[in-house]
Structure 1
């Protein structure tokens, strides 16, 4: 885990808001920021990098944040962003829609969609936690995730409460975490966000056959991500866990961009690739890393890895090592 902290109080009053703008521009997708407190802006932020996932708890005075179409054309990191309000209020507007957020509400948005966010009201100090997840890490199709953004999400119950509890526990004390824990914690956050988005897609809807099919498919994807380390994870065991036939499982994924078996293999290879590139795990034998992600035969893992990435696992690890 990599953690960096910034405080505007460390700079002269006239420089503080510009420093905040610089930090936000370099840490997140480009946004246009303004504030009535710009002459002497008070804010603090911690940036926790959990592999590809970023968590940033912050305390700040009110400001207005605009993510415009022009800024999106300039740079789009292709992320989904969740903001958990802990203290104070916030409001957002996008696509002619508006929403207000209070403590333990969650705001979600896509870096590819224009959005305006008003953080705080006059006289307020706002505490919040942002989570940024690359779109490719969510265990559900992108079109489904896009539909979920902007929907009302509560962190007081259900999956939202699970996500909020995980995030607040994570930021409370990071001293006990090792560098190798970061990507694993990021994977857990991506799974929780996937489950929250999947849950919100069916909120308030009757379970039509199409809704049931979609929910089941999302549940299967999340199940696969949670069980990649199980060497017995196969299309047959996935079907059995969801009380459906294997043939019906295959039909569910006919409209997906990958078969169930290929999805399992790809996710396992990707997790193994991340571990091979992790400096904290350079001393762990390749065979053991492969076994961790369900590859029981080392030769089969090597062939699959070479086919997917064009190099052997050992050569990939050596190429990722920093110069001695």
Structure 2
């Protein structure tokens, strides 16, 4: 939803009404209601929802009376993407900026204020039913209205996950969203547990999911390293190679397959973008960690049906037509022409 389709003089009142009806009852106020702009989008993932908000500075209060009128009974974990906001709840108070997380409980009174001079605020919010987090409520109470830095450790993995979810979640089907929902719960629980110093209290599958996400992030940041192998990944995460293989047993792909696929995808993207005078194919392959041109050429042809040089020589449209609609992302090798 967007206030852009509403007459300027009615935008703030319209937005306040929509939030109270569709999200939860709240008292919204603004120092500059005539200048207000607000947008919101919500993705239903089954067990939970993820929302994106971008809005002009305002103040939002939840009183006991409003909670009695309507309560989704959620913990809401927000990643602030832009701007600054202050939150007070359960005798705690914090001010957070871009890159930070903060947690609140919809079943408790709260006061959230965005400074008028701070510019628009953008946030991505995980709306987590109280029943899905495998942490005791008394422990979570200590995290309410506390700044959680999102630039390191599991918090950084969760921030990257939420960013990708906002950008690509709308393209996913119900089954995929169900799996992403489970991953979101596991990562959110691990992030909170880390700051509560009780990570070992997470269920075993939750810990495994968090470790898989950490490994995925490590792979993404090290694709260009030719020494990136399953053994190196296992050593970096202080587990045995056997444990690494067990961790990914039953998943869509193992560590070796993921490294190979992501390297090929990065090379393919560079070949699509490159033109006359661009780097040689061998240079691109080396930049993304392939040990030699022969290995790269064989892997590329096995995945895309043509050599890297042939691929580069074709326009994207010609390649799509030649592959009968298979597209650049297919993994099955087409038959010879």
Please tell me the TM-score bracket, short chain as reference. Answer: 0.5 to 0.7
Runs of 4+ in 1 over 4 A off after TM superposition: 224-227
CA RMSD in angstroms comes to: 2.3
Query: Any conservation in 2 of the 1:79–1:135 contact (CA below 8 Å)?
Result: yes
Q: 2:189 aligns with which of 191, 194, 197?
A: 194
* Residues 1:106 and 2:90 are matched in the alignment: no
In 2, Cα distance between equivalents of 1:215 and 1:103:
25
1:154-191 per-residue CA deviation (whole Å, 9 max, x = no partner) reads 11111111111011111123453113322222221111
Aligned to 2:287: none
Gaps of 5+ in 2: 212-245, 247-337
Give the whole-Å Cα distance in 2 for the aligned partners of 1:134 and 1:80. 6
Q: Residues 236-275 of structure 1, C-alpha deviation per residue, up to 9 Å, x if partnerless?
A: xxxxxxxxxxxxxxxxxxxxxxxxxxxxxxxxxxxxxxxx
Give the aligned partner of residue 157 of structure 1: 152
| Aligned counterpart in structure 1 of residue 76 of structure 2, from 81, 100, 113 | 81
Greater radius of gyration (CA): 2
> In the aligned structure 2, how far is the partner of 1:115 from the partner of 1:82?
14
Q: Give 1:51 shift.
A: 0.9
Q: Within 5 Å, give how 1:38-57 maps onto structure 2.
A: 38-57=33-52
TM-score by length of 1: 0.60
**CA distance 1:56–1:71, change in 2 (3 Å):** same
Q: Secondary structure at the match of 1:36?
A: coil
Give the equivalent residue in structure 2 for 1:144: 139
Deviations 1:270-320, CA, capped at 9 Å, x for gaps: xxxxxxxxxxxxxxxxxxxxxxxxxxxxxxxxxxxxxxxxxxxxxxxxxxx
Partner SS for 2:188: helix
CA contact 1:151–1:200 (8 Å) conserved in 2:
no
**Cα distance change of structure 1 residues 174 and 196 upon mapping to structure 2, 3 Å threshold:** closer
Within 5 Å, which residues of 2 pair with 1:122-271? 122=117, 124-202=119-197, 215-218=199-202, 220=204, 222-223=206-207
Distance verdict in 2 for CA 1:53–1:179, change over 3 Å:
same
Q: Does 1:21 align with 2:10?
A: no
Instruction: Tell me the distance in 2 between the aligned counterparts of 1:181 and 1:45.
Output: 23
Q: What secondary structure sits across from 1:173 in the alignment?
A: helix
SS in 1 for 2:155: helix
Structure 1, gaps ≥5 residues long: 1-5, 203-213, 228-232, 234-324
TM-score calculated relative to the size of structure 2: 0.58
Q: Is the 8 A contact 1:89 1:121 kept in 2?
A: no
The DSSP-based 3-state class of the residue aligned with 2:202 is helix
How do 1:49-68 residues align onto structure 2 when only pairs under 5 Å count?
Answer: 49-68=44-63
Q: How many Å separate the matches in 1 of 2:200 and 2:96? A: 30
Separation in 2 of the partners of 1:131 and 1:18? 25
2:4 to 9, 17, 27: 9
Higher relative contact order (CA 8 A, sep 6+): 1
SS of match in other structure, 1:180: helix
Tell me if the contact between 1:29 and 1:77 (Cα under 8 Å) persists in the aligned partners: yes
The more displaced of 95-104 and 172-181 is 172-181
**Deviation per CA, 1:108-130, whole angstroms, max 9, x where unpaired?**
01111111011243261111112
Contact kept in structure 1, 2:190 and 2:210, CA below 8 Å: no
Contact map agreement 1:33 1:64 (CA 8 A) in 2:
yes
Residue 87 of structure 2: aligned partner: 92
Looking at structure 2, the residues matched to 82 and 197 of structure 1 have their Cα atoms a distance apart, in angstroms, of: 10
